[in-house]
Amino acid sequence: MSTAELVQIDGLAPITKEDRKKSKIMLLFPPEWVPTAPYLALPSLTAVLREAGHTVIQRDINIGMWDHFFSMEFLIWVKARLGMQLKGLQENEKAGALTEREMNQLAVVEPAYELDVFDLADRAEDAKQIVRGDRFYNAELLEGALNTFRETMAYISSAYYPASLVFYPMESNLGYRPGVSKEVFACLGDEQVNVYRDLCNQLVLPEVSKEQPDVIGISIGTQMQLLAGLTFAKLIKESFPGIHVVVGGNIITRLQEDLVHHERFFTEVFDSAILYEGEHALLWLIEALNGQRLLASVPNLIYRDAAGLHRNPEVYTEKTQSLPLPDFDGMPLDRYFVPELIIPYLATRGCYWGRCTFCDHGQGYFDQYRGMPAQLVVDQIKSLRDKYQCRHFLFSDESYPPALFKKVSQLLVDQDVGIKWTTLIRFEETLQDQAMWDLAAKAGCCTLYYGMESANERVLNLMDKHAKKSVIQRNLQMAAKSGIWNHVMAFYGFPGETFEEA
Ligand code: SF4
């Protein structure tokens, strides 16, 4: 079935809260993602499931991992792992049986084992306190903390040779390509490089054993989370075969063709996969697992039964205005690596522009752009501000629409909401009024991230970006004048771009 054969539906007939059988669901957000704020997927799913009366335990294993990596407990464990590896390598060396790879590994493991792990762990623990407290604002101390994180990751990497595990940017490399299914399956079983196996044993399986959920949902939004997410799924299935494991998220949606051609994923790694937006699809899947619907009726779902794999042709896209407020209760809001809590918020689904030829963001959505009225956006922000005592927001929209940008800024000022915020935005002809930029700054806009991509208009037109250089310059100048920090993203090598244009 190609995506062209999918049909959009308006939803399934609801089951009343009283009639609905209740389940216990555990939601997991796997690494690797940034350690600075919770990701919105779990709170969005949690809100819909809790509203329906289910018990939800949400676990951000990503921040759990960073916290664990930079802890005395884990680093001493790494030292013990290094010690075991060193012993085996030295025995082989004595026997004259070292392979070239083992010789290289020995050269990494030996000095790492000599390192004073107590000193490193003390510094790593203190680095966490630095990024979580007022010392964050001292540039020298912050740089020192980040360097300690990098040094610690190099130490951890040595115990997973030849894997390269890094702090920032998220470019850890286990030596397997996440886009090649054969390599993915090999990686899941590789005890030498796959650090996520140990993380699962240390952080995930004890939680599953304690909570005994009926269903576990793993949200895999980016390619960087794929190997960790699938490793968790596989090890959970092996230890708890009675728990239904479902995966979902943007990258799972993009990989749907690969999934349906590899039944092994559904026999060895997870039970089902949810494509596109998952809030109601997950709710209906749980109802189906409780015998209150047919699995074949659940939109966005790929599942397996005795007859084989099925991808249901119906797709449901969320009605953004009737979704409940994201529910962050149970997220470890004091553990992120920032001195002030930052809450992500989404006023739109999809990108209103949706035309840039290089961009694949739209593949994660079936229906393109949907937005919410500005007043509802501001009401929800105020609710989140008050509920979580939070003054910092990350508007994680793909690209903030200019009309909403203006209206939300106006309402934030009029209603004296008192927050600081940042978002991603496109260069726009309609944003060439200094008063509008001043209003955004007054509304708390601190930093804007722009996909500039290229400073050459011919290349921008090739990309279907259609931004004029004069508009780019004016947008940036006006934002800077109003006190907003500008961050532009660009790349070179677009097909058709000449050396001079780059
Ligand atoms: S504006 Fe950004 S999100 Fe939208 S299509 Fe272009 S690159 Fe993609």
Per-residue pLDDT of the chain (502 residues; tens, 9 = 90+): 666 688 999 999 999 989 999 999 999 999 999 999 999 999 999 999 999 999 999 999 999 999 999 999 999 999 999 999 999 999 999 999 999 999 999 999 999 999 999 999 999 999 999 999 999 999 999 999 999 999 999 999 999 999 999 997 788 999 999 889 999 999 999 999 999 999 999 999 999 999 999 999 999 999 999 999 999 999 999 999 999 999 999 999 999 999 999 999 999 999 999 999 999 999 999 999 999 999 999 999 999 999 999 999 999 999 999 999 999 999 999 999 999 999 999 999 999 999 999 998 777 777 778 999 999 999 999 999 999 999 999 999 999 999 999 999 999 999 999 999 999 999 999 999 999 999 999 999 999 999 999 999 999 999 999 899 999 999 999 999 999 999 999 999 999 999 999 9
* Mutation choice for ligand 1 from 363, 396, 398, CB with most ligand atoms inside 8 A: 398
Which among 327, 350, 372 is the end of a domain?
A: 327
Which among 327, 359, 377 is the end of a domain?
A: 327
Residues 235, 162 within the same domain = yes
pLDDT of residue 2: 65
| DSSP letters spanning 237-262 | HHH-TTSEEEEESHHHHHTHHHHHT-
Residues 415, 293 within the same domain = no
Residues 267, 358 within the same domain = no
Is 275 within the bounds of a domain? yes
CA angle, corner 28, sides to 27 and 34, nearest 5? 135
Residues 351, 476 within the same domain = yes
Output b/e per residue, 399-435; b: 16+ Cβ within 10 A: bbbbebbbbbbbbbeeeebebebbbbbbbbeebeeee
> Is the CB–ligand 1 distance for residue 359 below 6 Å?
yes
Is 499 within the bounds of a domain? no
pLDDT of residue 366: 76
The CATH number of residue 457's host domain is 3.20.20.70
Is 441 within the bounds of a domain? yes
- If you take atom 5 of ligand 1, which residue's CA is the nearest one? 354
Which among 271, 292, 327 is the end of a domain?
A: 327
pLDDT of residue 3: 66
* Mutation choice for ligand 1 from 349, 359, 369, CB with most ligand atoms inside 8 A: 359
pLDDT of residue 171: 87
Is 351 within the bounds of a domain? yes
CA 22 to CA 241: how far, in whole Å?
20
> Is the CB–ligand 1 distance for residue 400 below 6 Å?
no
Is 332 within the bounds of a domain? no
Side-by-side strand order, sheet with 392-400: 342-345, 392-400, 420-425, 445-453, 485-490
- β-bridge partners, 244: 215
Residues 315, 369 within the same domain = no
User: What Cα–Cα distance (Å) separates residue 488 from each residue in 107, 426, 470?
Assistant: 41, 10, 15
Residues 395, 287 within the same domain = no
H or E segment to which residue 399 belongs? strand 392-400
Q: Which domain holds residue 20?
A: 1-327
Residues 14, 130 within the same domain = yes
Distance of alpha carbon 87 from the chain centroid: 38
- ipTM of the complex, rounded to two decimals: 0.99
Q: How many domains does the chain have?
A: 2
Is 350 within the bounds of a domain? yes
pLDDT of residue 437: 98
- How far separated are the first and last CA of the chain, in Å rounded? 40
Is 99 within the bounds of a domain? yes
Residues 302, 369 within the same domain = no
Residues 289, 435 within the same domain = no
Residues 371, 293 within the same domain = no
Residues 256, 151 within the same domain = yes
Is 497 within the bounds of a domain? no
Q: How many helices (H) and strands (E) does the chain have?
A: 19, 16
Residues 316, 359 within the same domain = no
pLDDT of residue 4: 65
The CA 411 to ligand 1 mean position distance, Å, reads 26
The CA 350 to ligand 1 mean position distance, Å, reads 9
In the Cβ-directed half-sphere of 98, how many Cα atoms lie within 13 Å?
Answer: 18
The CA 109 to ligand 1 mean position distance, Å, reads 44
